[in-house]
Amino acid sequence: MNRGRVAVAMSGGVDSSVAAAMLVEQGYEVVGFTMQIWPRDTEADIPPGLHGCCGLDAVDSARRVARTLGIAHYVIELREPFERFVVDPFCDEYAGGRTPNPCIRCNTFVKFGPLLQRAAEVDAGKLATGHYARVGYDEARERWVLRRGVDAEKDQSYSLYGLSQEQLARAAFPLGGTAKSQVRERARRLGLPAAERPESQEICFVSERSYADYLRRRRPELARPGAIVDREGRELGRHQGVAFYTIGQRQGLRVSREEPLYVIGIDVAGNRLIVGGEQELESPGLLMGQVNYVSVAGLPKDGSPMEAKIRSGARPVACTAWAEDGGVRLEFARPQRAIAPGQAAVCYEGDAVALGGVIESQL
List the one residue out of 213, 218, 194 whose CA is nearest residue 83.
Answer: 218
**Could you give the CA distance from residue 289 to residue 188 in angstroms, rounded to a whole number?**
43
3-state secondary structure of 236: strand
Instruction: Give the other-Cβ count within 10 Å of 265's Cβ.
Output: 15
Mind giving me the DSSP string for 83-97?
A: IIIIIHHHHHHHHTT
3-state secondary structure of 290: strand
Of 53, 54, 103, 204, the active-site residue reads 204
**Could you give the CA distance from residue 267 to residue 150 in angstroms, rounded to a whole number?**
41
3-state secondary structure of 319: strand
Of 53, 54, 103, 106, the active-site residue reads 106
Residues 6 or more apart in contact with residue 357 via CB below 8 angstroms? 288, 289, 290, 291, 292, 327, 328, 344, 345
How far CA 39 is from CA of 75, 218, 221, in Å, comes to 15, 11, 20
Instruction: Decide if 135 contacts 172 (C-beta within 8 A).
Output: yes
106 is catalytic: yes
Longest alpha-carbon distance in the chain: 72
DSSP 141: T
Residues 6 or more apart in contact with residue 105 via CB below 8 angstroms? 85, 86, 89, 90, 162
Q: How many CA atoms lie within 13 A of 314 on its CB side?
A: 21
Instruction: Decide if 301 contacts 279 (C-beta within 8 A).
Output: no
List the one residue out of 168, 162, 119 whose CA is nearest residue 6.
Answer: 119
Task: Please list the active-site residues.
Answer: 106, 204
